[in-house]
Structures are given as structure tokens and as C-alpha cells.
Amino acid sequence: MAALAWPLKESKAKRLLSELVQYKTTISLALTSDLSRDIEEIRNDMLHLRTALTESQKREVYNWLHATGFCDQMNGKNGKLVDTVASGSMVSPELAKLFGISHRKSS
């Protein structure tokens, strides 16, 4: 009788093991999906922070230039100078990057 019971228990054990493998696969897939979504959210948050910081830096420089009267002086003396700087032809690569304008060497 014991010899007959083992084959029945073995098939049940194999079936249960197969179910466990399926559950494990499902849980792994769900965790991978959650992690992927979390990574994407972190990436988007970092891009947002980078943009916000850049905008904040732009605003800070703009406010500083206006507070010193630099923009008013340049516009009063030669309106074209501010346009030239704004176009990027007289801006260093660093400032061009900061203000989001294309950098061109002056001719």
C-alpha cells in the first residue's frame, strides 16, 4: 500500500511545484514592471528638477543683470548689442548653454 501511495504523492508534489514556479514567475514579472515604472518616474523627476534648476538659474542671472542696470545701459547705448548677445553670436558656450541659445562665434 505504501508503494502505491508514493506515486500519487509524487504527482501531487510535481503539480504543486509547477504551480509554485508559475506563481514565482508572475510575482517576478509584477516586481519587474513596478521597478521599471519607478525608474521611469525617477528619471522624469530628475529631468523636471534639472529643467527647474536651469530655469531658476536663468531667472537669477536675468534679475541680477536688471538689478545692476546692465540691460538698461546696453539698450540705451546700443540696442543692437543686446539683440546680438541674445542671438548667441557674442555669448560664451557656457552662457549659451545656460540660456538655451545656440552658440555662434562672432564674425
What band does 63 get if pLDDT is binned at 50, 70 and 90?
A: confident
Q: Are 90 and 103 in contact (CB under 8 A)?
A: no
Highest mean pLDDT among 31-35, 51-55, 89-93: 31-35
Q: Round the average pLDDT of the chain to a whole number and report it.
A: 75
For residues 45 and 65, give the distance between their C-alpha atoms in angstroms, rounded to a whole number: 30
Helix intervals (H) in the chain: 2-68, 70-77, 79-87, 93-99
> Span 22-50, mean pLDDT?
93
The pTM of this model reads: 0.44
Domain locations in the chain as residue ranges: 1-51
Quote the pLDDT of residue 106: 46
Quote the pLDDT of residue 33: 95
What band does 17 get if pLDDT is binned at 50, 70 and 90?
A: very high
